[in-house]
């Protein structure tokens, strides 16, 4: 009796039919938990890779900057160039597969491998962003530091980098947004990220529209949110312009 | 104090300095004059190795700065430099601009460095601007701060690279006054300048540099009163 009523009601009301469908797709068997895991892993990979990327990028940028004036660093700078060329020349998915199936064959945790792979990939792009930020600082600043007796590294740390930050930070934030979307291929190495979670649910429910559109919406909202922070950041950095 | 021996500098195929010899003694105020592009600034920047000479030697307090094994950073601490474009650190307050190098390189306690900086700032009439940022200062004030920044390292010699060329005319005087006082206190100075009045009044020696060589050298009276070189005479006729 109750069932018939429900059925009749849903037949005439597309909205409640859709809600029922959503309930079935996401609530049955606690499938939403998969999505939450995926969401958290996506965030985790993005932030982890970002940290690795910033560290690698900063190191490479500084090495390449210092190598312009130091013969001892030339081989190291050459190695950095090899890294940049190789990483930027290989698609992210392929890099990820290489890391998972060739380099870290014994890894039980695909998430960690993904963080490292995305981090190393991102580092190459960060290096160029940070280098252009460093180059945007007037060369007279380095000369002033050097004329006082600072080493290139000391001048870099207290004079150049603090000024370069305001060029670099917005670019890094942009890179983070790109990185967030790129992590959607993490499922290739069995990491349950947001996209992979959606596919699993689709495979179990055959409800493609609701799963994929929901996931698309989540990515979109995340990016909109991050972009807003970026805007605010750019405004703040502009305001602190003490020139 | 500084002895320059057959200093040469080329940028690619362009020879900017073609063998410069000169002695700068303690207490000297040496002004370097000459037409633009003659190598004045390059000469000055070679003295503290901001430009690497392609030939010759620069002996500073007994050490050859062109020697690859020398600790340049330690020697540069004793050679203050003032730039045409000031090059103050825009992200630091005036006080921080003055103390960052002494605290970092000479291990002077922060308070002591600040006390010293404040005293020097007061002498150039800027004690009230200690907490300002460079962008809040006028050009003349910036340059005076830049001079104090170099002085805070207690250098043995001060190098000035056209210190008034980027200033509005009404601000030139305040910077030159500071430099005059510095000269009177016995500071050794090498000044690349277009201010002939300053060279005449303050320098004890003037170098006329053109096309990479010192064409004439002498006291201000000799250089400005009875110039021997034809090129110097035509240069002075244009600028005076």
Q: What would the 3-class secondary structure string for chain B be?
A: CEEEEEEEEEECCEEEEEEEEEEECCCCEEEEECCCCCCHHHHHHHHCCCCCCCEEEEEECCEECCCCCCCHHHHHCCEEEECCCCCCCCCCCHHHHHHHHHHHHCCCCHHHHHHHHHHHHHHCCCHHHCCCCHHHCCHHHHHHHHHHHHHCCCCCEEEEECCCCCCCHHHHHHHHHHHHHHHHCCCEEEEECCCHHHHHHHCCEEEEEECCEEEEEECHHHHHHCCCCHHHHHHHHHHC
pLDDT(A117) > 60 = yes
Contact B98, B145 (CB under 8 A): yes
pLDDT(A182) > 80 = yes
Contact B159, B58 (CB under 8 A): no
Contact B79, B189 (CB under 8 A): no
Minimum Cα–Cα distance from B74: chain A residue:
A149
Q: How much of chain B exceeds pLDDT 70, in percent?
A: 100
Number of separate domains in chain A: 1
pLDDT(B105) > 50 = yes
Confidence at residue A5, expressed as pLDDT on a 0 to 100 scale: 52
Give A154→chain B minimum CA distance, Å. 9
Contact B101, B137 (CB under 8 A): no
| Interchain contact B88–A (C-beta under 8 A) | yes
Spatial neighbors of A121 by CB under 8 A, at least 6 apart, are A49, A53, A87, A92, A95
The pTM of the full predicted model, rounded to 2 decimals, is: 0.84
Contact B173, B181 (CB under 8 A): no
- Tokens linked to B169: 């005319």
Give A239→chain B minimum CA distance, Å. 12
pLDDT band at A224 (very low <50, low <70, confident <90, very high): very high
Arithmetic mean of pLDDT over chain A: 90
pLDDT(B229) > 50 = yes
Of the candidates B200, B204, B235, B172, which has an alpha carbon nearest to the alpha carbon of residue B36? Answer: B235
- Which among A143, A154, A242 has CB closest to B90? A242
Determine how β-strand B79-82 pairs with β-strand B63-64.
unpaired
Confidence at residue A1, expressed as pLDDT on a 0 to 100 scale: 47
| Interchain contact B60–A (C-beta under 8 A) | no
**Does A33 fall in a domain?**
no
Do B91 and A162 lie within an 8 Å CB cutoff?
Answer: yes
Do B50 and A143 lie within an 8 Å CB cutoff?
Answer: yes
Q: How much of chain A exceeds pLDDT 70, in percent?
A: 93
Residues B110-129 pLDDT 10s: 999 999 999 999 999 999 99
Spatial neighbors of A15 by CB under 8 A, at least 6 apart, are none
Residues A37-62 pLDDT 10s: 999 999 999 999 999 999 999 999 99
**Does A1 fall in a domain?**
no
Distances (CA, A) of B73 to A155, A181, B67, B92, B229: 11, 47, 13, 22, 39
Distance CA B140, CA B171 (A): 5
Minimum Cα–Cα distance from B146: chain A residue:
A144
> What does the pLDDT average to over B96-106?
96
Can you give the residue range of the structural domain that contains A88? 38-197+208-242
- Which among A140, A154, A158 has CB closest to B87? A140
User: Is the pLDDT higher at B220 or at A14?
Assistant: B220
| Radius of gyration of chain A measured on its C-alpha atoms | 24
Chain B residues touching A140 at Cβ < 8 A: 83, 85, 87
**Does A125 fall in a domain?**
yes
Confidence at residue A6, expressed as pLDDT on a 0 to 100 scale: 53
Q: Count interface pairs A-B at CB distance under 8 A.
A: 66
Confidence at residue A8, expressed as pLDDT on a 0 to 100 scale: 54
> What does the pLDDT average to over A5-31?
78
Chain B residues touching A147 at Cβ < 8 A: 48, 50, 76, 79-81, 83, 150
**Does A77 fall in a domain?**
yes
**Does A130 fall in a domain?**
yes
Handedness of CA B60, B63, B64, B70 (dihedral sign): negative
Residue B74 CB neighbour total at 10 angstroms = 11
Distance CA A133, CA A136 (A): 5
Of the candidates A140, A222, A199, which has an alpha carbon nearest to the alpha carbon of residue B82? Answer: A140
Lowest average pLDDT, out of A21-35, B95-109, B225-239, goes to A21-35
- Tokens linked to A239: 């305001």
Distance CA B198, CA B185 (A): 16
Chain A residues touching B104 at Cβ < 8 A: 150, 154, 158
Go through chain A and tell me how many residues it has: 243
| Interchain contact B154–A (C-beta under 8 A) | no
Q: Is B109 exposed, middle or buried (0-12, 13-18, 19+ CB in 10 A)?
A: exposed
| Interchain contact B48–A (C-beta under 8 A) | yes
Go through chain B and tell me how many residues it has: 240
Confidence at residue A12, expressed as pLDDT on a 0 to 100 scale: 66
Chain A residues touching B77 at Cβ < 8 A: 148-149
Do A147 and B48 lie within an 8 Å CB cutoff?
Answer: yes
**Does A118 fall in a domain?**
yes
Lowest average pLDDT, out of A70-74, A84-88, B131-135, B181-185, goes to A70-74
Arithmetic mean of pLDDT over chain B: 95
**Does A14 fall in a domain?**
no
> What does the pLDDT average to over A64-92?
92
Do B87 and A146 lie within an 8 Å CB cutoff?
Answer: no
Distance CA A104, CA A9 (A): 55
Lowest average pLDDT, out of A42-56, A179-193, A228-242, B203-217, goes to A228-242
Residues B23-58 pLDDT 10s: 999 999 999 999 998 899 999 999 999 999 999 999
Residue B96 CB neighbour total at 10 angstroms = 17
Do A148 and B135 lie within an 8 Å CB cutoff?
Answer: no
Minimum Cα–Cα distance from B137: chain A residue:
A243
Q: What is the CATH number of the domain that holds A104?
A: 1.10.3720.10
Give A39→chain B minimum CA distance, Å. 39
| Interchain contact B105–A (C-beta under 8 A) | yes
Of the candidates B211, B161, B212, B210, which has an alpha carbon nearest to the alpha carbon of residue B223? Answer: B210
Do A147 and B80 lie within an 8 Å CB cutoff?
Answer: yes
Do B83 and A140 lie within an 8 Å CB cutoff?
Answer: yes
- Tokens linked to B186: 């016995």
Distances (CA, A) of A34 to A27, A198, A211, B140: 10, 8, 12, 66
Determine how β-strand B14-24 pairs with β-strand B63-64.
unpaired
- Tokens linked to A50: 């970002």
Spatial neighbors of A140 by CB under 8 A, at least 6 apart, are B83, B85, B87
> What does the pLDDT average to over B5-18?
94
**Does A27 fall in a domain?**
no
């Amino acid at each position: 009796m109750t069932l018939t009523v429900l059925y009749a009601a849903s037949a005439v009301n597309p909205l409640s039919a859709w809600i029922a469908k959503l309930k079935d797709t996401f609530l049955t068997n606690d499938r939403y938990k998969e999505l939450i895991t995926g969401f958290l892993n996506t965030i985790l990979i993005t932030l982890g890779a970002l940290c690795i990327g910033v560290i690698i990028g900063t190191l490479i940028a500084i090495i390449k900057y210092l190598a312009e004036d130091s013969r001892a660093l030339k081989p190291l700078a050459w190695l950095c160039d090899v890294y940049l060329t190789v990483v930027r020349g290989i698609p992210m998915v392929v890099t990820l597969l290489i890391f998972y199936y060739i380099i870290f064959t014994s890894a039980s945790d695909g998430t960690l491998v993904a963080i490292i792979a995305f981090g190393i990939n991102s580092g190459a792009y960060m290096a160029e962003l940070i280098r252009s930020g460093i180059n945007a600082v007037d060369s007279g600043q380095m000369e002033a530091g050097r004329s006082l007796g600072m080493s290139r590294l000391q001048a870099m740390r207290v004079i150049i980098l603090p000024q370069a930050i305001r060029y670099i930070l917005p670019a890094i934030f942009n890179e983070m947004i790109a990185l967030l979307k790129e992590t959607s291929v993490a499922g290739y190495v069995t990491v349950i990220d947001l996209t992979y979670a959606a596919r699993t649910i689709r495979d179990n429910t055959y409800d493609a529209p609701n799963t994929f559109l929901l996931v698309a919406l989540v990515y979109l909202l995340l990016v909109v949110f991050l972009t807003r922070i970026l805007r605010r950041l750019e405004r703040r950095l502009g305001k602190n312009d003490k020139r | 104090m500084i002895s320059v021996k057959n200093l040469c500098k080329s940028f690619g195929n362009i020879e900017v300095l073609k063998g410069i010899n000169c002695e700068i003694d303690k207490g000297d105020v040496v002004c370097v004059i000459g037409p633009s592009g003659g190598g004045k600034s390059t000469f000055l920047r070679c003295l503290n190795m901001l430009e690497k000479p392609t030939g010759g030697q620069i002996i500073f307090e007994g050490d050859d700065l062109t020697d690859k094994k020398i600790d340049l950073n330690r020697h540069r601490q004793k050679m203050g430099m003032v730039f045409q474009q000031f090059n103050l650190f825009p992200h630091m307050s005036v006080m921080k601009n003055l103390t960052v190098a002494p605290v970092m390189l000479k291990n002077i306690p922060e308070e002591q460095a600040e006390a010293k900086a404040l005293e020097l700032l007061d002498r150039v009439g800027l004690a009230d601007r200690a907490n300002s940022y460079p962008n809040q200062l006028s050009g003349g004030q910036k340059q005076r701060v830049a001079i104090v920044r170099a002085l805070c390292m207690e250098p043995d010699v001060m190098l000035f690279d056209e210190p008034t060329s980027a200033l509005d005319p009404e601000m030139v005087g305040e910077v030159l006054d500071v430099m005059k006082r510095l000269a009177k206190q016995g500071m050794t100075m090498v000044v690349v300048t277009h201010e002939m009045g300053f060279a005449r009044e303050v320098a004890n020696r003037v170098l006329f540099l053109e096309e990479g060589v010192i064409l004439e050298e002498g006291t201000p009276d000799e250089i400005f009163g009875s110039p021997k070189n034809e090129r110097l005479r035509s240069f002075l006729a244009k600028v005076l």
